[in-house]
Structure 1
Amino acid sequence: MYKSVLVPIAFDDDAKAEAALAVARLLAGDDGDITLLHVMEHVPGYAITYMPPDYIAQSRAAVQEELDSMAATLGHGRGVVVDGHSGRTILDYAEETGSDLIVIASHRPGMADMLIGSTATQVVRHAKCAVHVLR
């Protein structure tokens, strides 16, 4: 069993998030800690001017509330919202917190992924801990 499991949550596919949580529960066992991590990417300045003034704060609060709700079903779970680039930030967070497993959902790669790579690909290539990828 793993002691510290990190599960990045993207909120773009609820079924994949649920599947990742199920795998994390199984691999963490009864004593392992599970952290649900959502990375909020930077909103470009030209776009933020078209959004309400408190959009980022409200969005962050809503994401944190959803993560907390999901984490409450895990026993030893917690939700964390951080800012940054998704792939790099997941890797940095895993290393800083001593995660020994990352459970990450992936999508079917498209042409854009062939050119710039997906988040899951970046995590798999550069993680210093075990990575379990769900398709």
Structure 2
Amino acid sequence: MSFDADRDATSAIEVARALNQTSGKITLLHVVEHLPQYTSDLLPEVHQEHAKTAVTEKLSPLLNNLDNASIEIVEGHAGRGILDYADTQKIDCIVIASHQPGLQDYLLGSTAARVVRHAHCAVHVIR
């Protein structure tokens, strides 16, 4: 199974642009997952801030030629973070990439599946 985050992000942006109305806003959302305590104790205190900066630098080129678009970085569990952000920001459509499910996804559930099941707005899934 391969996963290409750049390709998935580009595809998601293309779909969001197609679905977007002229006055709509596109937000590139990334959730930085919390590390287990035993791991975070071994890393410098500024690790999370460095991770957020790295993600912002990686996503920034994707904003080229996008009007009314921004990058948001939140901390927490991926699925819950996406759902909470969508609820608090009154998002009307989530565009999310999904990989081919593996055995672990059938047992635990993927982020995309969790978002589809629990979102209070439309969700467009890109395979």
Q: TM-score, normalised by structure 2?
A: 0.90
Partner of 1:109: 101
Is the contact between residue 10 and residue 62 of structure 2 (CA under 8 Å) also seen in structure 1?
no
1:44 is matched with which residue: 36, 46, 49? 36
CA distance in 2, matches of 1:77, 1:110: 33
Aligned residues: 125
User: Distance between the aligned counterparts of 1:50 and 1:83, measured in 2?
Assistant: 19
Distance 2:110 2:35 in 1: 19
SS at match of 2:96: strand
Q: Per-residue deviation at 1:72?
A: 4.0
SS in 1 for 2:22: coil
Residue segments in structure 2 that go unaligned for 5+ positions in a row: none
2:53 to 45, 51, 61: 61
After TM superposition, the structure 1 = structure 2 runs for residues 5-24 of structure 1, keeping only pairs within 5 Å, are 13-24=5-16
Give the TM-score, by structure 1 length: 0.85
SS of residue paired to 2:101: coil
Q: Distance in 2 between matches of 1:131 and 1:100?
A: 9
Amino acid aligned to 1:40: V
- The answer to whether the 8 Å contact 1:72/1:78 transfers is no
